[in-house]
Amino acid sequence: MTRKTRRLWIVIACLACISSAAALTLRAFSSNIVFFMAPSQVKANPPAPDRTIRLGGMVMAGSLHRITENGAPVNSFNVTDGQAAVEVHYTGILPDLFREGQSVVALGTVQKNGGFTASEVLAKHDETYMPKEVAEELKRTGKWDPRFGKAPDAASWDTMTAKKAGG
Amino acid sequence: MFGPEQGHFALALACVLALIQFVVPLWGAHKRNARLVAMAPFLAVSQLLALAISFFSLIMCAVHDDFSVQNVAANSAASKPLLYKITGVWGNHEGSVLLWTLILGVCGAAVSAFGRNLPDILRGRVLAILGGVSAGFQLFCLLTSNPFDRVFPAPMDGQGMNPLLQDPGLAFHPPILYTGYVGFAVPFAFAVAALLEGRVDAAWGRWVRPWAVAAWCFLTCGIALGSWWSYYVLGWGGYWFWDPVENASLIPWLTGTALVHSAIVVEKREGLKIWTVLLAIATFSFSLSGTFLVRSGILNSVHAFANDPARGVFILALLALVIGGSLALFAWRAPSLTSGGLFSPVSREGSLVLNNILLCSICAVVVTGTMYPPFMQLLAGRTISVGKPFFDAATIPLTIPLLLAMGVGTALPWKRAQLARTFSHLFVAAIIAAVGLVLCFWKFSGALPIACGALAIWVIAASVTDILRRVGLGHSSMSDMVARARNLPRSSWGAALAHIGAGITVLGLCGMSGAQHAIVEIHVGETRSLAGDDWTLLNVHDYAGPNYRAMQADIAIRHNGKLITTLHPEKRDFTTQNQTTTEVAIHTNFITDLYGVVGDRHGTGANATYVLRLHRNPLAPWMWLGGLVMAIGGAFSLSDRRLRVGAPKRAAARNMAQA
């Protein structure tokens, strides 16, 4: 075996592996990418019911309800970004860091009636953390000015007017 | 004696020593001045001493509850147990950077101590590169994240540590993981030194391999420990979340595994030299980027505890300097390295090349999956994420040929293999794998778990039969076999053990794909069944811990009426931080884990209901057991005579001096 044929073998093996890796990556991307959406985006153009998305926003204070269905606990709560609110249903134990009035990310699908069924709920570790999109949306609509202190309670975002904020 | 100012001073001193360690030996090597080069080991050891004093000072600040130190005030509290006061030192950004540089200092001192039989110039250059990297990180620590900053007025008590981090597993996870990350700095320094010297030969391969293997062992242990931690602490029943931070440790592990294998070819056959140098550079670059991903806010994940742009810019500049500099040097000097021995595609070398290509392909997929979402956000402004489905779909098909090749590789001879002979060697292993396939059909469900499970059995069987064949099973007497087993190089035993470990891990992963769970809400005394076991909630009671209040549940698990175990999961409420944590209860018989979590209490008195999550995880412990076996295999190969005894190294060093 000469140096040239050896090199040819290695190049062939490399090309085969890289191209199959690229093909696998592209195929996996096309079916498995999960988009992040805020509640207002979900309301404006709802995704297909079989498409998994990540819904992020703040948990509306006072919106958490628990019921027991067939012996399993079902939690429902509203997630808002200041523009709209989406009702989320989740069967299971909410994470330890889940709080009303704090940010949350839910993985799941949008139902035909506009509700959201979550398969996974993630709460952020940092208590002061607010998703960037939410903070910007609040600032843009004039509901919160960071110069005048902490963000208002999540429950009031949907209903309050721009005038009341920061006053 | 060991106050924050002393620690700060010692850190600055270490930084200066590291800078001298960087400049002087390189200059000496350039000017062929042996005395300047010979200063390197002394500088490395004194740098370590200064760093040790600095780190010890920080520990003393934490132990003595000196809340005038910002870092202690932010991360500790008087009521915290002593163990976590100590381990909490590296549980935050500043302390972890200091730990990082300390480990780098240990690596430098280790090269000085164990590298006595290296040629002086090479050792001087290696230590100089380590000193340069060290100086960069110490500057980063001093300028942007000083752990000794004072705060005025000093608070009465600290803010306390994230209760999630108060766990023995996590306490020792960062040092081990960091030793793995930082350990790859030594092969990196060897690679850069070889490029400066313009020479890579078998002796270089023999010197570099133990360092790569040692770092790889620590990284393997670190990843396994981290995965185990998330399994039993986070309480989600998951073990790997394809989180950017987890991927950041997996990526250097993949290239590091490739490095450990390609260095064998350099050592034995003087082949793949340029490639090995590139892998050494790439592995450390990925390790550095791993820290960068964790420490900066670029990839926001649950692990990130620093979101400071000044730090990000500094680290980015440091990365550009180290990675860009070494790659530029590689581009400049690599063409002057000559390539070595010929081999046929079907040979030990050929299989190691295939192993490298496959590992790097998997690595490329993981890098793409990790980096694509943040880049998409940066460029297109869309927030997307990819998770387990993506990584499973893209990596498992590449793992299958890797496992297949793992079994064949060790049975192949160097240079050229005869196919018929190789097949006869692998015949028994193939039969065992076929039986395993039937077993997998019976136990696992889904095409991929069955295929991977059978291949894992194939890998284990091939490793065992390979060792047995070498020992001479079947055609030698018992005493002869023992003698042969003793004479077999430890590195062969190590390789077999590491491959068996990989097989065990894969079997564990396949088993976990069949995990079952149920979420129930029940009263005390009620019973629910999951996968043939009956879980009864016996009792729930409250008690007070040292710095938390806890609710503990007693759950009895019966199989066909026979009591298996009683689990005691807890939910703890840390009042200082207003945080709750879940204490998972796990019963394991090393085949199946029974895993119980207690959630919220609804209602009061006798009417109260409790939310429980019950898991049945087949083969779960095997995932981490396999990691441990892999690391033990690596350690075994480190104890190989050829690596330990100086004789061949000294002979090679003489040859080098003459050349």
A125: annotated binding-site residue? Answer: yes
| Residue B580 contacts residue A96 (beta carbons within 8 Å) | yes
pLDDT tens sequence across B489-511: 888 899 999 999 999 999 999 99
* B192-214 burial: b if 16+ Cβ within 10 Å, else e: bbbbbbebbbbbbbbbbbbbbbb
DSSP-derived 3-state class of residue B586: strand
More confident residue, A164 or B593: B593
Q: Nearest CA to B610 among B510, B541, B544?
A: B541
Amino acid A158: pLDDT: 58
| Residue A72 contacts residue B517 (beta carbons within 8 Å) | no
Chosen for mutation from A2, A3, A6, A124 (greatest number of chain B CBs closer than 10 Å) is A6
Average of pLDDT values for B580-589? 88
Domains of chain A are: 35-156 (2.40.50.140)
pLDDT of residue B461 exceeding 70 = yes
Instruction: Give the residue ranges of DSSP H helices in B488-530.
Output: 490-512
Amino acid A166: pLDDT: 38
Amino acid B420: pLDDT: 83
Strand partners, B638: none
In this prediction, residue A138 has a pLDDT band, given cuts at 50, 70 and 90, of low
Amino acid B309: pLDDT: 64
What is the C-alpha end-to-end distance of chain B, expressed in Å? 51
- What is the rounded CA–CA span in Å between residue B543 and residue B385? 41
Tell me the chain A residues in contact with residue B611 when contact means C-beta distances shorter than 8 Å: 73, 93
Q: Nearest CA to B289 among B371, B190, B218?
A: B371
Q: Nearest CA to B533 among B560, B555, B566, B565?
A: B560
Structure-token match 């190590």, residue found: B494
Contact B597 A93 (CB under 8 A): yes
Record the pTM. Answer: 0.89
State the helix-helix crossing angle for B202-233 and B185-197, rounded to 10 degrees: 160
Option in A1, A24, A36 nearest B383 (CB) = A36
Q: What is the DSSP string of B247-266?
A: HHHHHHHHHHHHHHHHHHHH
DSSP-derived 3-state class of residue B358: helix
Amino acid B125: pLDDT: 95
What phi and psi, each to the nearest 5 degrees, are found at residue B493? -60, -45
Amino acid B573: pLDDT: 86
User: Out of B24-28, B284-288, B340-344, B539-543, which region has the weakest mean confidence (pLDDT)?
Assistant: B340-344
Contact A2 B365 (CB under 8 A): no
- What is the rounded CA–CA span in Å between residue A43 and residue B565? 49
Q: For chain B, give the percent of residues with pLDDT over 90.
A: 45
CA distances from A88 to A54, A85, B385, B472 (A): 12, 9, 20, 65
User: Out of A148-152, B426-430, B528-532, B593-597, which region has the weakest mean confidence (pLDDT)?
Assistant: A148-152
DSSP-derived 3-state class of residue B528: strand
Instruction: Give the residue ranges of DSSP H helices in B410-476.
Output: 419-443, 447-471
In this prediction, residue A72 has a pLDDT band, given cuts at 50, 70 and 90, of confident
Question: What's the mean per-residue pLDDT of chain B?
Answer: 87
pLDDT of residue A133 exceeding 70 = no
Amino acid B650: pLDDT: 47
CB contacts under 8 A, B 592-621 vs A, are 597, 599-600, 602, 609, 611, 613
A48 part of contact set with chain B, CB < 8 Å:
no
pLDDT of residue A154 exceeding 70 = no
What is the C-alpha end-to-end distance of chain A, expressed in Å? 82
Structure-token match 């015949």, residue found: B427
pLDDT of residue A149 exceeding 70 = no
B69: DSSP letter:
B
Average of pLDDT values for B165-182? 84
B398 part of contact set with chain A, CB < 8 Å:
yes
In this prediction, residue B646 has a pLDDT band, given cuts at 50, 70 and 90, of very low
Amino acid B76: pLDDT: 84
Q: What is the DSSP string of chain A?
A: --HHHHHHHHHHHHHHHHHHHHHHHHHHHHHH-EEEE-HHHHHHSPPPTT--EEEEEEEPTT--EEEEETTEEEEEEEEE-SS-EEEEEEESPPPTT--TTSEEEEEEEE-TTS-EEEEEEEE-S-TT---HHHHHHHHHTTS--GGGSSPPPGGGTTT--TTTTT-
| Kind plus residue range of the DSSP H or E element containing B212 | helix B202-233
Amino acid B520: pLDDT: 87
Those residues whose C-beta lies under 8 Å from the C-beta of residue B332, and which sit 6 or more positions away, are none
Quick one: tokens of B363? 């690595």
Average of pLDDT values for A92-116? 83
CB contacts under 8 A, B 123-182 vs A, are 162, 164
Q: What is the Rg, in whole angstroms, of the alpha carbon atoms belonging to chain B?
A: 27
Chosen for mutation from B298, B352, B368 (greatest number of chain A CBs closer than 10 Å) is B368
- What is the rounded CA–CA span in Å between residue B569 and residue B168? 17
In this prediction, residue B643 has a pLDDT band, given cuts at 50, 70 and 90, of low
Q: For chain A, give the percent of residues with pLDDT over 90.
A: 5
pLDDT of residue A159 exceeding 70 = no
Contact B361 A21 (CB under 8 A): yes
What phi and psi, each to the nearest 5 degrees, are found at residue B549? -115, 140
Contact A21 B384 (CB under 8 A): no
Q: Spell out where B503-637 has E strands.
A: 516-523, 527-530, 533-544, 549-559, 562-567, 570-574, 579-583, 585-588, 592-602, 609-618
In this prediction, residue A124 has a pLDDT band, given cuts at 50, 70 and 90, of low
A19 part of contact set with chain B, CB < 8 Å:
no
Q: For chain B, give the percent of residues with pLDDT over 70.
A: 93
| Residue A46 contacts residue A114 (beta carbons within 8 Å) | yes
Strand partners, B593: B588, B617
DSSP-derived 3-state class of residue B445: coil
- What is the rounded CA–CA span in Å between residue B137 and residue B131? 10
- What is the rounded CA–CA span in Å between residue B203 and residue A95? 54
Structure-token match 């309480």, residue found: B235
Tell me the chain A residues in contact with residue B362 when contact means C-beta distances shorter than 8 Å: 21
| Residue B196 contacts residue B333 (beta carbons within 8 Å) | yes
Amino acid A152: pLDDT: 61
| Residue A138 contacts residue A154 (beta carbons within 8 Å) | no
In this prediction, residue B339 has a pLDDT band, given cuts at 50, 70 and 90, of low
Amino acid B109: pLDDT: 95
User: Quick check: bond before B155 cis, omega within 30?
Assistant: no
Quick one: tokens of B567? 């689990």
Average of pLDDT values for A94-113? 82
Q: What is the DSSP string of B56-67?
A: HHHHHHHHTT-T
- What is the rounded CA–CA span in Å between residue B429 and residue B26? 52
Amino acid B400: pLDDT: 94
B303: DSSP letter:
T
User: Out of A94-98, B27-31, B323-327, which region has the weakest mean confidence (pLDDT)?
Assistant: A94-98
A129: annotated binding-site residue? Answer: yes
Average of pLDDT values for A130-157? 63
pLDDT tens sequence across B367-397: 999 888 877 777 776 778 888 889 988 999 9
* CA angle, residues B185, B188, B189, in degrees to nearest 5: 85
State the helix-helix crossing angle for B244-269 and B273-295, rounded to 10 degrees: 160
Quick one: tokens of B21? 């360690």
Taking the CA atoms of B9, B15, B18 and B23 in sequence, report the sign of the dihedral they define.
negative
What phi and psi, each to the nearest 5 degrees, are found at residue B613? -120, 125
Average of pLDDT values for B604-622? 87
pLDDT tens sequence across B238-295: 888 888 888 889 999 999 999 999 999 998 888 888 999 999 999 999 998 887 666 5
Amino acid B306: pLDDT: 43
pLDDT of residue A137 exceeding 70 = no
B353 part of contact set with chain A, CB < 8 Å:
yes
pLDDT tens sequence across A55-66: 888 888 888 888
Contact B372 A2 (CB under 8 A): no
Amino acid B133: pLDDT: 95
Highest mean predicted confidence (pLDDT) among A45-59, A100-114, B547-561, B629-643? B547-561
